[in-house]
Every structure is written in C-alpha cells, then in structure tokens.
Structure 1
Amino acid sequence: MLKDKCIIRVGHNGSKSSCRVQTALFQSMRPRSEQFRLFPLCRCIIPGHRSARHQRRYQDSGADIAYSLRQKGVRVLTPNPSPPDSSDQGWSFPDTEEGIYSAVQQGATHLWANTILFASHPLQTSSRLTALASDLNVVGQPPGLVENFDDKGLLNNKLRELGGFTLPRAWMVDPDNVRQIVNQVDRYPIVGKPVRGRGSHGVRVCYDAAQLQQHAEDLLAESPLIMLEEFLAGEEATITVMPPTPSRPDYWSMVPVTRFNHTDGIAPYNGVVAVTANSRVVSEDEMKDPAYNKVMRQCEGVARLIGATTPIRVDVRRFRDGSHFALFDINMKPNMTGPGRPGREDQASLTAIAAAAMGWDYGTLLQHILESAQPLDQFRNYRSPF
C-alpha cells in the first residue's frame, strides 16, 4: 500500500528529484514533496452522443479524493492552495491542455484523471506533455479504453461473442430499426437505456410495446444508438474489480455490494438517494451461494480482457430470485465519492462500502488506487484487445 506517498517529483526548477523504490512505496530522497493533480468533469462529449454530465458528482468526488489523500499524508497540488473543506470548488484543475500543463509546471508528477476520458483528450494528444510522458504518472483508464468500452452495447456484444460471460438478451436500436425491434420483443418487461449513460439517466423499465416505443424514441432524440435489454427481476449487486498493482499483480474483486429499495425497478442515481441508504455488503453467510463467486470471476475476466488500469465496477443482477447472475452494466469510471470532509459522512460510494468491509477506510482505498498509476507514455500506448 502507498503510505506517506509518493514519487519522482519534478522540482520547481524543472529538474527531477532523485528517487528510489522501497517495496510498493516510491520514496523521494528529498523531504516529502509529492504532488498530485485531480481532474474535474470532462467538458467534452463523445461525438453524436449527449450524456448526462453530473457535474457536481465529479467536483464533489474530486474534493473528497484530494482531501482524504491529504489526511493520509499525501501532498496534493490544488489550484487553490487551501480550498475550504466544505466546498467542492478549488480542489481540481481543469481537464484542458492548459489546465493539465499548469499543474505539471507547478510540480505535479501524478495526474488523477477524475473525469471521463476519450481518444482526443489532451492527456492522449497534447504534444506539450510528450517530452514528459515517461516521468508523468496517471491514475485513470486509458482514453482509448474508455472511448471503446464506455459503449455498453459494443462491450456487451464482444463479451457475448467470446463466450464465458453471462449477459441478458439485448437489442441495439437506431432510428431506422426502432419499430422493427419493438415489434420483435415478445416478452416484457424490457429496459431501455443509452449505450453511453451516466448513473440512471435515461434508464427505464417498460411494460408494454407502447411504453417501449415512446421511451426508445425519447432516447434516440439524445443519441443515435440505444440499447434494449431483458429486465432482470432478481437481486441486484455491484462488484468492484481492482487493477494490478506492485503489491497485488492481478485483477481481484472486492466483496459484492447488494442493492435494494429500487425505484420503478431501477437503482436510483446516488445524487438523488445516497447509496448508504440502499446498499450493503453481502454477508459471509450469503457468500456461501456459489453464484457470487461465479460472477466475481466473470467480472475479473472482463477487467483482464480489456486491460483496465483503475477500478471498474460491474453491476450484476439475478434473472430471478435464487438464480445465477448476469452482467448488465460495466462502468469504466465508477463514482468515487467518500466520507471525510465535513458533512460528507453519508457519501460513501459503492466501492468505498465494499472497501470498508475489508477494513479499509476511504483514504486507504484511495492509497491502493494510487498504486495503480502508470507512466503517461504507457497510458497513451493502450491497445484494444478487439
């Protein structure tokens, strides 16, 4: 675990501090002066898709991350040197080329990309960062990975083709085939949702053809391609898969977190209902059900296949009570809010809830995620498995 963190610091004069590695800890030879860079909401959208952007979710989680790492002794670089603990503002740099380069010029060596990345993002394309690419480290999924696999239809279809993964029946729908697909559906309920969505935006359970047709048309007004999916009626859970780190060099699943108190069959967005009010870890006795272990191995298989470099969160649900689970939503950028700042006691994310069951507080979870940081040049060289 990274404690008292971190690493190769670019000094204010542009020279590199000497450094050495001790176990999983990169220890600077100078007095501790580690700098990290946190991103806010991405202001850009994948062409052709309008996604709910939940700006506050990224601002508040950015503040939570920075505050909690500081509490653990990590030196965090912020645009406001002393942002108010109770405010979401002043903790994160803009995720523009100028914003990123400003953080680097001020001494940042680690960039925590608390945003949605995409292939043309400055982290991927900025020539100003290229000369520093072997010295800068990034916490985040590679932009090429996110742009490909944030598309739920693309990833789910690839998993179906490969076999070995359990998924619900699904149909990809565009303006040209919407009526034909709706007419083909022979069993309800059906879930309609965007292929690139955030939280529960646009996700609705439809109980007949008229509802489905209307909802599909509403979704297609936002995006050129949507997904219809078999409704899974059983228990819902979510599984966080952690990436390889020096201290644990393979993918592994945290304990599942079961969800309850759904609204119209769908787990509500955490900005409306805190996940602490409708989620809990699966008990040791419940874990004796082999269905949990089976789906955890499948979730790890997804992360390994796509080459995830930070945690992913996979939402799973039983086809019916007592049945096995299906994977229905694979999140490349799970919410990472957590308690610590004043008034944030109930703001644990699903991943933080799972971590707490292992004895990790929120700051310890972040330290483990920080271990997954990779050099920017490696980050840029990601290649899709498909």
Structure 2
Amino acid sequence: MTGLTQHSAQPQISARQVAAASRHMSTASTPRVAVLYQELEPPLINGVRKPKKPGGYRDSGADIAYVLKHQCAIDVITPVSAPDPERDADWCFGDSERGMIDAIEKGATHFWANTILFANHPLQTSPSLTSVAKTLKVVGQPPKLVELYDDKSFVNNLLRVRGGFTLPSAHDVQDEQALADLLQVDLKYPVVAKPVRGRGSSGVKVCRSPEELNEHCRGLLKEETSVIIEDYLAGQEATVTVMPPSPDTGHDNYWAMPVVERFNHAEGVAPYNGIVAVLENSRCLSESEHESDPHYSQIQRQCVEVARLLQCTAPMRIDVRRFEDSESSPFALFDVNMKPNMTGPGRPGREQQASLTALAATGLGWDYPTLLLKMLGSSTPLHDLRNDKLPPFIRE
C-alpha cells in the first residue's frame, strides 16, 4: 500500500463481547441497520490530513436512519431507545471501535458506513469485529482502497497512465519549493488549486494570477495538505453517480445514473451544499437532454470505467466539466468522490434537503427511500471488504 496511515491506538474489546450478537446475526433473516458517523479524526497519510467534516456526517446519517425506519420499514438500531427526529446524534453510532461494538451488541446486522474510511480504521483492523466479519454487511467501500483513492492526485495520475479517460492537465505541489518552481512556469491562467485530500469544495479556488495562486497554495500547504493545480474547465459542470453491481438494482455490472447538472457557481466553483442547498444549483437532466447530446453518454461510460477500475463496492460520484462553454465541447473528469453525500428529505424540517445522488435517482423514478433500499441491497460482507485486493496494475 502506498504510504502508511498514522493513527491513535484503539481500545481493545474482547471478541466474546460480540459472541451473542454473532449468533443472532447468523440466523437473522431481515437487516437490522446501524448508521455510522465520522467520530474519528482523519489520520495523517503521507504527511497529508483530510479535513474532518463538522458534525461528522451525522446530519445525513440521521436522514438515512430516519427514512429507513419510518418510510422503508427497516429495523434501524439507534444509540437511544426513542430517537428524536430533530437530534442527529440520536440516530448514528460513532465509527470508533467502541461505537461499532455498541451497535453490534444492540443487534445490528448491517453497518451503513456514512463516514471516511482508511486502512487503519477499526472497521478494517479491529479484532473484535473478526468473529462477525462474514455475517456483518456494510454499505461502503473497502477501507484500504478508500485511503489510496482519497488521494486525488494518485487517482488522476492512475487514470492518465491507464488511458482512455479525459482529464485536465495538472501539476502536483507537495511543498513551497515545488510551488516556487511551478510559479516560474508559464501557466495558462485561470487555474484551479485544490487540496489533494479535499472534502467537497473546501480549499478549492480558481486563481487568475501567479500572485493569487501563490497566496492560496501557501495557505493550503500550511494546513497539512499537498495541492493539485489543474487547468480551469470553463464549460458546463455536471456530476455522475456510478452504482456497483447488485441484484437489487437489476444490474450485474457497474452502471451510471442520469447526469446531474450543476449551475450558479460562486467564483467559478460549485459551493458546498451546507452553504447553498443542492436543489438551488443542481438538476437532473431529462432523458431527451441525454439523448440530444452524445457527450453525456460518453462521459457516463468513462465514469463507469473508473468505478470498475477502482473496484468500488458502493455508489461513488465523479464531477465532470466541459473544457469550453459550448455544447460541442467534451467533458473532462476532475474529481472522483469515493463517498458521495447522502442527505435527503424525510425528517421533520428537512423537507428541502437533497443530495446529488438523490437528484440523479429522480431521473430513474426513484424517491429517496427507494434509493436507500437499493443501496442497502448492495451491501457487502465485512470479510470481503477487509480482504479486497488492490487491482493488479497498482503496485504497493
């Protein structure tokens, strides 16, 4: 594996504590779902730390748990016996070893990993989970692969080497000396500078001069992150969600959901959905729009191939944008997201909530509960996620 994860020691919990839960899991016929949120601080990986989301995705985790329970008739395990729809913390378990053991002891047979995983995450390493690893199912990606693929520079360079993918030109900047060297190059402005392990639009900026680029990158480099500097794509922005193979969706291979268009950018960048609601700057394209422009199906095929290449086991989302502001311009891939946001409506006061993947689902005639059920149906045994191997073309 490229690089090592630096992490804190986890409390050791005896496997005997989950023995009863293991016996229950082996005979359970219906799922009992526990949603996990990001309790753990993201580790330092190759000198770079991914910023933790404020709240640790508990808001979307509560959306998922509430809708599964009240609109999908799924047995949802919660930290408290009578969860309050307006209290996010009542619906989700922390992704620490203790939090997951608590969920299993309460009877969980499925984990919904609504969190950021990494190679030394307790979901991957905890010996206390080994006794249930073959029966416990997880909605999520293999932790070891997530750590590798959360490095946007690694993924982009991998796709360039493999060929067949359209991407903007880019430069990697690991330190201030590399930045100084790059600033001597005759870059074509504007360019986009962003963290190599970013979250959403955090730290992403369109820079229109060497001075602006230098100031922004120096700020990012001080925050334990490397930087990607890539050509600015000036045309229409969109995003494509790719689903994994699953009998519940009727697909035995990877497949793309309808394209979702992004608009109303702020300074050339789609704003974080915590600031501007997805419904205010995004829409699912109609079937006729897809059919009228072959560039949509072309980029969908590329996104499907990315998911197949990375061996994803859960939905993933890829942001794309045309090179030029013209319908004749092709799309380029510019951001591969291993954990798409899954916010959605259902809880009181959350009626206007949505996510890009939920919007894409509407193009299939799926509402938010249907999407969640389809995702639950694609869950994978923890044993398989732990033992997922790197694709043969990737060398450690």
TM-score normalized by structure 1? 0.91
Of 38, 43, 64, the residue aligned with 1:41 is 38
Verify: 1:351 aligned to 2:357, yes or no: yes
Of 305, 308, 314, the residue aligned with 1:304 is 308
Give the whole-Å Cα distance in 2 for the aligned partners of 1:161 and 1:44: 32
Give the whole-Å Cα distance in 1 for the aligned partners of 2:186 and 2:254: 37
Per residue, is there more helix in 1 or in 2? 2
Of 343, 348, 351, the residue aligned with 1:342 is 348
Asked if the contact 2:242–2:303 (Cα under 8 Å) also holds between the matched residues in 1, the reply is: yes
Give the whole-Å Cα distance in 2 for the aligned partners of 1:14 and 1:117: 23
Displacement of 1:357 after TM fit?
Answer: 1.9
Asked if the contact 1:41–1:55 (Cα under 8 Å) also holds between the matched residues in 2, the reply is: no
Of 269, 282, 287, the residue aligned with 2:272 is 269
Displacement of 1:57 after TM fit?
Answer: 6.1
Give secondary structure in 2 for the equivalent of 1:232.
coil
Give the whole-Å Cα distance in 1 for the aligned partners of 2:39 and 2:170: 29
Displacement of 1:224 after TM fit?
Answer: 4.3
- The residue number in structure 1 matching 2:51 is 52
Percent of aligned positions with the same letter in both sequences? 52
Of 292, 295, 298, the residue aligned with 1:291 is 295
1:17–1:64 distance in 2 versus 1, CA, 3 Å: closer
1:42–1:150 distance in 2 versus 1, CA, 3 Å: farther
Displacement of 1:325 after TM fit?
Answer: 0.1
Asked if the contact 1:42–1:116 (Cα under 8 Å) also holds between the matched residues in 2, the reply is: no
- The residue number in structure 1 matching 2:224 is 223
- The residue number in structure 2 matching 1:194 is 195
- The residue number in structure 2 matching 1:137 is 137
Give the whole-Å Cα distance in 2 for the aligned partners of 1:174 and 1:16: 49
How many corresponding residue pairs?
Answer: 366
TM-score normalized by structure 2? 0.89
Displacement of 1:144 after TM fit?
Answer: 0.9
- The residue number in structure 1 matching 2:208 is 207
Q: Give the alignment of 1:72-111 within 5 angstroms.
A: 72-111=72-111
Q: What letter matches 2:365 in structure 1? A: G
Decide which moves more: 74-83 or 164-173: 74-83
Displacement of 1:281 after TM fit?
Answer: 1.0
Give the whole-Å Cα distance in 2 for the aligned partners of 1:43 and 1:234: 38
Give secondary structure in 1 for the equivalent of 2:253.
coil
After superposition, the C-alpha distances for 1:260-308 in whole angstroms (9 at most, x for unaligned) are 1000000000000001000011123321201000000000000000100
- The residue number in structure 1 matching 2:382 is 376
1:236–1:132 distance in 2 versus 1, CA, 3 Å: same
Q: What letter matches 1:67 in structure 2? A: Y
Give the whole-Å Cα distance in 2 for the aligned partners of 1:200 and 1:220: 17
Unaligned runs of 5+ in 2: 1-17
Asked if the contact 2:49–2:225 (Cα under 8 Å) also holds between the matched residues in 1, the reply is: no
Displacement of 1:55 after TM fit?
Answer: 2.6
Verify: 1:236 aligned to 2:270, yes or no: no
1:57–1:240 distance in 2 versus 1, CA, 3 Å: farther
RMSD: 1.6
Q: What letter matches 1:192 in structure 2? A: A
Give secondary structure in 2 for the equivalent of 1:39.
strand
Asked if the contact 2:42–2:51 (Cα under 8 Å) also holds between the matched residues in 1, the reply is: no
Displacement of 1:49 after TM fit?
Answer: 2.6
After superposition, the C-alpha distances for 1:225-268 in whole angstroms (9 at most, x for unaligned) are 21001000000000100111123211111100001100000000
Displacement of 1:12 after TM fit?
Answer: 5.8
Give secondary structure in 1 for the equivalent of 2:61.
helix
1:336–1:368 distance in 2 versus 1, CA, 3 Å: same
After superposition, the C-alpha distances for 1:164-201 in whole angstroms (9 at most, x for unaligned) are 00000000002131111122142110000001111111
- The residue number in structure 2 matching 1:6 is none
- The residue number in structure 2 matching 1:3 is none
1:185–1:357 distance in 2 versus 1, CA, 3 Å: same
Displacement of 1:46 after TM fit?
Answer: 3.0
Q: What letter matches 1:211 in structure 2? A: E
Give the whole-Å Cα distance in 1 for the aligned partners of 2:271 and 2:26: 49
Give the whole-Å Cα distance in 1 for the aligned partners of 2:93 and 2:379: 18
Q: What letter matches 2:127 in structure 1? A: S
